Amino acid sequence: MNDGSEMVLRGPIKALRPSEYTSALIQALRDEPDRVRGRNVLEIGSGSGVVLAVLGSLGAASVCGIDIEQEAIEAGINLLADLGHDNAEFHLGDMWLPVAGRRFDLIVANLPNSPHPQVPISGRPPNWSAGGYDGRLLVDAFIAALRTHLVPGGRALMTHNSYIGLDQSREAAHANGLSFDVRLSILVYVPEEKLALMTPSIVQAAKGQSLHSFGPYTFGEIHIVELGAPA
Ligand SMILES: C[S@@+](CC[C@H](N)C(=O)[O-])C[C@H]1O[C@@H](n2cnc3c(N)ncnc32)[C@H](O)[C@@H]1O
């Protein structure tokens, strides 16, 4: 936009700093712009709003964000407005509730799925990364209702910690008539504070498999998984 007036963009909100999970999701979306252009898109857990901003820049027809945190909703509204996207809507609410009865072409989610209790971590409230004892609280809720919110042939991309059970998610997807594929895998640094809170039996089982420690530094394998509805 250049109408001669100075455009002042708001700065980043430090508390909502996008994580490496968000980066991986953005990379997967940018790898296939043709599968975004012209699509109606939903993000559950929109946080800073940056994933929806990327989707807007890739030509999504409309973007809709849901988050349980008021600060995130305000951040998303401001970011999309600042970037000139007038096809964005945001809703404060829990998971699927704000979009009951609605379907989308593409649904993305980077929901908390770390296996640790609902406690604040790294200065962020529990809703930022805690997925409960097995890490699956929101992943299971996401998969269970996904098909009823996808158009035929629609798809979803979701971030998924390797150590919370990829096979369990695959089975849940198949049980709901959805395809399930791993699109991208990377290692992300697991801060000491988070590792110490994670369910010990899960950490033990994942050691050397999907959690790799080098001295005091630990990295966890994460995936971007794609779930698809039949056409
Ligand atoms: C790891 S952050 C991801 C944020 C976003 N992708 C970004 O990079 O800015 C997870 C987000 O999910 C939201 N969230 C957690 N529980 C939720 C729920 N039950 N319903 C909707 N959003 C939720 C959190 O408030 C947070 O903004």
Residue 111 Cβ contacting ligand 1 at under 6 Å: yes
Would residue 79 count as lying in a domain?
A: yes
Q: What is the CATH number of the domain that holds 165?
A: 3.40.50.150
Average pLDDT over residues 36-55: 98
Backbone angles phi, psi at 188, to 5 degrees: -125, 150
Q: Mind listing the pLDDT tens digit for each residue in 73-83?
A: 999 999 999 99
Is ligand 1 within 6 A of the CB of residue 44? Answer: yes
Residue 93 lies in a domain: yes
C-alpha 223/C-alpha 40 separation (Å) is 24
Q: How confident is the model at residue 52 (pLDDT cuts 50, 70, 90)?
A: very high
CB-neighbour burial class of residue 208 (10 A; exposed 0-12, middle 13-18, buried 19+): exposed
Number of domains in the chain: 1
Looking at the domain assignment, is residue 214 inside a domain? no
Percent of the chain with pLDDT strictly greater than 70: 94
Q: For position 121, what pLDDT does the model report?
A: 73
In a domain, 89, yes or no: yes
- Residue 164: domain span: 18-189+222-228
Q: What token pair was written down for 117? A: 């209790």
User: Does ligand 1 have an atom closer than 6 angstroms to the CB of 94?
Assistant: yes
Q: What is the pLDDT of residue 152?
A: 98
For residue 111, name the pLDDT band (cuts at 50, 70, 90).
Answer: very high
The answer, yes or no, to whether any atom of ligand 1 lies below 6 A from the CB of 112, is yes
Please indicate, yes or no, if residue 42 is contained in any of the structural domains: yes
Does residue 195 belong to any structural domain of this protein?
no
Q: pLDDT tens across 157-185, in order? A: 999 999 999 999 999 999 999 999 999 99
Sequence-separated (6 or more) residues with CB below 8 Å from residue 126? 112, 117, 118, 119, 120
The pick from 46, 54, 97 for probing ligand 1's pocket by mutation, whose C-beta has the most ligand atoms within 8 angstroms, reads 46
Question: Is the pLDDT assigned to residue 51 strictly greater than 70?
Answer: yes
Element (H, E) at 57: helix 50-57
pTM for the whole structure: 0.94
Task: Give a yes or no: residue 158 inside a domain.
Answer: yes
Residue 46 counted as domain residue: yes
In angstroms, rounded to a whole number, what is the distance separating the alpha carbons of residues 2 and 26? 27
